[in-house]
Amino acid sequence: MSYPFRVTDATVDVVEALLSGDDELYGLKIAKSIGRPSGSVVPILMRLEACGWVLSEWEQDESVRGPRRRFYRLHADHVGAARRLVGERKTASATAVSSTLRPGLGGVR
């Protein structure tokens, strides 16, 4: 399937985090959950938002100390495609790993 954005491992990680069902996902929280720097996660979120896959809104609770957070969620119209994207990448990764193993030799080529 073709996507309106560049599909990288980091992009798939971000999409998978967005599929987690957490209602309060913001850039730093996503970055920590997937083990990637926020400096790479936030631009991915911005690209996904620009193509309509992600919606965002500023935190409304003004009693929270520190800078306001921008919360992100997948657009309902793209949840199915997001699941396919994550599934495709996992299938491709599993195929790549299994093709590098040689039966009977117990190691990598």
Look up the CATH number of the domain holding residue 11. Answer: 1.10.10.10
Cβ–Cβ under 8 Å, residues 54 and 97: no
- The domain of 3 spans 1-60+67-89
Average pLDDT over all residues of the chain: 88
Evaluate whether residue 102 is within a structural domain.
no
How many Å apart are CA 92 and CA 75, to the nearest integer? Answer: 25
Distance separating alpha carbons of residues 57 and 101, to the nearest angstrom: 46
Handedness of CA 19, 25, 27, 33 (dihedral sign): negative
pLDDT band at 66 (very low <50, low <70, confident <90, very high): confident
Within a domain: 46: yes
* pLDDT-based confidence at residue 102 (cuts at 50, 70, 90): low
Q: Is residue 98 part of a domain?
A: no
Q: Is 107 part of a structural domain of the chain?
A: no
